[in-house]
Amino acid sequence: MANRFNIGDLEVYALVDGKATVDDRYMNGVTLEQWQPHKRWLTHDDRLELPFTSFLVRSGDKRVIIDCGLGPIKGGGYEGGAMMDDLATTGVTPAEIDVVFVTHLHADHVGWGATRDGDVLRVTFPNAAYRWTAAEQEFWSGDLPPQQIARRDIFAAVAPHFEPADGGTSLAPGIDVVAMPGHTPGHAGVVLSSGDQRAFLLGDAIACPVQLEEPEWSGVGDMDPALARRTQEAVAKEIEEGNALATASHFPGLTFGRVLRGEGKRYWQPVG
C-alpha cells in the first residue's frame, strides 16, 4: 500500500519499486570506523539498503509521476518490479498519468518508462509526456563513460513522448522542477508547493540522510562529487531555513522528513 501525504492541496503517494542492498563502502573513501556514529542508517550487517522510491502527485485533475524505479530486474543486489502494483493501490491507472518526470536517467529511475510487450518495448504510461532536463537528454544521447549503464532501449521507446523540462518548469500547478546538478550533469529535483507548505523531492541529489550529518561524504554514483556537494549544501540550506519537508529517492521509510540542526550539524528527521 502506497504511503499517502498531503502537501496543502496536493496529494502525494510514495511508491516503491524495490531496493538495492550495497555495502558500507558505498560512500567514497569512508571507512566502517567513520560509519560507527551513524550505524542507524546501516543494516545489522553493516550494509546500506537503498529503496527505489517514486512519487505520484495529484494536483487538481493532473497526475504526475516522479521517477519510475528499476523495473522488473533482479540481480547483483538490485531488486525491482513492485512499482506498478503499488500504483494500482492508489486507484490511478497508467493511462491516467499526464506527466512522467525523471530526475535523471540512471537505470534505477527510468525502469518503468517502457514495458516489454512481446518483442517490443512500449511506453508504460501511454498518455503521458515524458520529461527531464535538456542537459540530461544531451548527456545520455552522447558517448558515455564505460561505467555508466544507459537504458537506450527505454530512451528509444519514450523518445516520441519526450519534452524537455529544465529548472523552473512547472509540471502541473504546484509541481516545479529545480535544477540539482552533480549526481549527473542534468540531474533535477522537484518542489511541491501548496498554501504555506513546501516539500522537496531530491532525486539522488542526496543519496542517504547520513550526508546531511557528514556533508563531505559522496556516494559512488555521483559523477561530479564536488558539484553534487555544492548542490546538496544549497538545497539543504533552503529546506532547513524554509522549514520545508524533504525526501529523496533512496531515503529509508518512504516518508518525508525535516532538516533540523543539533550539535552544529544538520540531520534528517522523518515525520510521523
Based on C-alpha coordinates, what's the Rg of the chain?
17
Min. distance of Cβ 182 from Zn ion in angstroms? 13
Kindly list the distances between the CA atom of residue 25 and the CA atoms of 48, 161, 184, 272, in Å, as whole numbers in the listed order.
9, 38, 20, 30
Residue number with CB closer to Zn ion (108 or 222) = 108
Min. distance of Cβ 240 from Zn ion in angstroms? 23
Residue number with CB closer to Zn ion (130 or 172) = 130
Min. distance of Cβ 6 from Zn ion in angstroms? 26
Min. distance of Cβ 249 from Zn ion in angstroms? 5
Min. distance of Cβ 229 from Zn ion in angstroms? 17
**Whole-number Å distance between alpha carbons of 108 and 183:** 13
C-alpha cell recorded at residue 168: 523552473
Footprint on this chain of Zn ion (rule: CB under 5 A): 108, 204
C-alpha cell recorded at residue 2: 502506497
DSSP-assigned letters across all residues of 213-237 = HSTT--BTT-SSHHHHHHHHHHHHH
**Strand partners for 194:** 197
Residue number with CB closer to Zn ion (111 or 257) = 111
**Whole-number Å distance between alpha carbons of 160 and 148:** 24
**Whole-number Å distance between alpha carbons of 189 and 178:** 5
Residue number with CB closer to Zn ion (92 or 179) = 179
Residue number with CB closer to Zn ion (108 or 136) = 108
